Amino acid sequence: MADDTKTSAPSLSPPPLPRPGREIQTVLPGMESAEDYIIKKHNAIIHRTHAATPTEEKLFSALLMAARAQMKSGIEPSNGQFRTTIKFLRNFTKISATNNQYLKDALTGLQERPWQYDMFVEDKFQEWRSFPPISEVRIDKFGAVSFYFAPTIMEALNNPSIYTQIDLKIIRGLKSVYSIALYELGMTHIGERKEFSVIDYRNYMGLKEGEYAAPADLRRHVVEPAVREVNEKTDIRVELQLLKRGPRGALTGFAFTFDQVEEVEILPESHQLELIAELCALLPEGIGVLRGVVPLLKRMLEAHNEDYVRSNIQYFTERVNDKNQAPIPSPGGYLRRVLENDYGLEIRERREVERIMEEKIRQGAAEKTAHIDVAHANKLAEDEEIFQIQEKYYTYFQSLAAERQADIVTRIEKSGLYIGPIKTQIMGFLQMEERVNL
């Protein structure tokens, strides 16, 4: 197995302050609120051997989420069948390949290697079990996914006695399968210390025989990178202690102490950072770099939308720059108050009124133009009809004998009653004097 996080291993004591991590930005199908990403995992599902890759672990969490959403909506699974879509699974696991083979390989991986269940014997049956977590999966030509959990997973889903709340947004942001396993373990043992022998920890992480066989390699490539990523990107802190024995200090195991971080600043993903940077640039100089402004804007974008945030930033900026009013003593606190109380509502309403007025003006102009166009079209039609009639009379005139034509032209010139082009004069003369009706 490739090493998921290849970085050097400095001190593993928890940082003095929580560090930023990643969070999902795109709303996934059926998951409209932050609470939808907090899934209750039965502790026995957490206390098991883990999948071979982070994609498989995230895929298993996504399937649990889809099953939870279906059960939450009151739809009973027919013969144990749950349903979701390829789009949802790809979005959640961050699979960018478009041919779906990578997703299919991960689903196959969840079926190939059996899991050992309830390694800490917290299930009521208190028995060891071994099984692939997914018994069957089907994908139709339209991208609909049907899947079936193993009976043991179904028992855990239906047994609410021992559950831990897991934030799948945080799971989704972790890159290492070992970090995912350690985070879920920590969430079930907040405020506790958990010890593993080297052998037990290898089994818990699902390592194959020969992978990181030396305890030092296990520490350097599995344990320490996982502790580091969990401390950097999640809402818990992990303190690692190496368990040693003998005069030479042979490494025999690992002890983990888990504590909950009260508040963690989770930064947006890169595409949202660009928008937040643009919004910060709209703020008065020096405000955008104040501590807490970026997570505040992120939270407001998640709770509302870009127009909501922009209008409130405009209100804040106009107020700060208004020299006729007293200076704001705490700009950061005032910005928070403006955003939370929606002082920019008036600006959005004013914009909407202006938009409606502009639309009405455009509609009026369009109607006027349409009226002019109709009148012009009518005139053109009338002119065309007159032209056709003139052509008929002129054709009739040309069919007359030459002497007759000359006589008509002479009489027209002498009368002085007919004006305009010669065809018009001929038509008028034939209608009035000769009583010709064509």
Domain ranges of the chain: 34-260, 270-343, 348-432
Q: If you average pLDDT over residues 27-37, what whole number do you get?
A: 43
For residues 81 and 74, what is the distance between their CA atoms, to the nearest angstrom? Answer: 14
Q: Can you tell me the distance from the alpha carbon of 118 to that of 323, in angstroms, rounded to the nearest whole number?
A: 66
Residue with tokens 């704001």: 328
Q: Please name the amino acid found at residue 369.
A: T
Higher per-residue confidence, 241 vs 400: 241
97 phi and psi, to 5 degrees? -60, 140
- Mean pLDDT on 300-308: 86
Cα separation, 205 vs 183, whole angstroms: 12
**pLDDT number for residue 21:** 35
Give me the residue label for tokens 């969490």. 61
- Specify the pLDDT at position 224: 94
pLDDT greater than 80 at residue 265: no
Q: Which of 311, 325, 324, 322 is nearest to 282 (CA)?
A: 311
Q: Give pLDDT tens digits for 139-165.
A: 988 888 999 988 877 876 776 544 455
Burial of 166 from C-beta contacts in 10 A (0-12 / 13-18 / 19+): buried
Of residues 115 and 371, more confidence is placed in 115
Please write the tens of the pLDDT for every residue from 94-139: 777 667 888 888 888 888 877 765 544 444 456 677 878 888 999 9
Q: Are the C-beta atoms of 309 and 278 separated by less than 8 Å?
A: no
Give residue for tokens 């405000």: 287
Query: What are residue 256's DSSP bridge partners?
Result: 194, 240
Cα separations (Å) of 267 from 28, 31, 350?
Answer: 19, 20, 33
Provide the 10 A C-beta neighbour count for residue 79: 5
Q: What is the pLDDT of residue 165?
A: 58
**Position of tokens 């509302």?**
304
pLDDT mean over 272-297:
84
| Predicted pLDDT at 61 | 79
Question: Per-residue pLDDT tens for 400-425?
Answer: 888 888 888 888 888 777 777 888 88
Lowest-confidence region among 108-112, 127-131, 325-329, 349-353: 127-131
Q: What is the pLDDT of residue 303?
A: 83
Mean pLDDT across 319-326? 87
Averaging pLDDT over each range in 26-35, 110-119, 168-177, 191-200, which range is the top one?
191-200
Strands 250-260 and 193-197: antiparallel
Say whether 193 sits in a helix, a strand or coil.
strand
Rounded to whole angstroms, the Cα distance separating 292 from 428 reads: 89
Q: How many C-beta atoms surround the C-beta of residue 138 within 10 A?
A: 11
d(CA 286, CA 273): 18
Token reading at 124: 């009521």
Quote the DSSP letter at residue 326: P
pLDDT at 368: 66
Task: Give the type of residue at 109.
Answer: G
Sign of CA dihedral 240, 245, 246, 250: negative
Separation of alpha carbons 379 and 278, rounded Å: 55
Q: What are the distances in angstroms from CA 160 to CA 44, 65, 126, 154, 409?
A: 11, 15, 16, 12, 109
Our CA dihedral for 21, 25, 29, 33, rounded to 10 degrees, sits at 80
pLDDT recorded at residue 253: 94
Mean pLDDT of the chain: 76
What token pair was written down for 405?
């034509």
d(CA 228, CA 194): 17
Q: Candidates 3.30.9.10, 1.10.150.530, 1.10.10.10, 3.40.640.10; correct CATH number of 34-260?
A: 1.10.10.10
Sequence-ordered strand ranges (E) for 105-249: 115-117, 129-131, 134-139, 144-149, 163-167, 193-197, 236-245
Span 220-236, pLDDT tens digits:
999 999 999 888 888 78
Cβ contact 166:18 at 8 Å: no
Confidence of residue 52 (pLDDT cuts 50, 70, 90): low
Q: Over 70: is that where the pLDDT of 321 sits?
A: yes
Residue 84 makes CB contacts below 8 A (sequence gap 6+) with 62, 63, 66, 145, 147
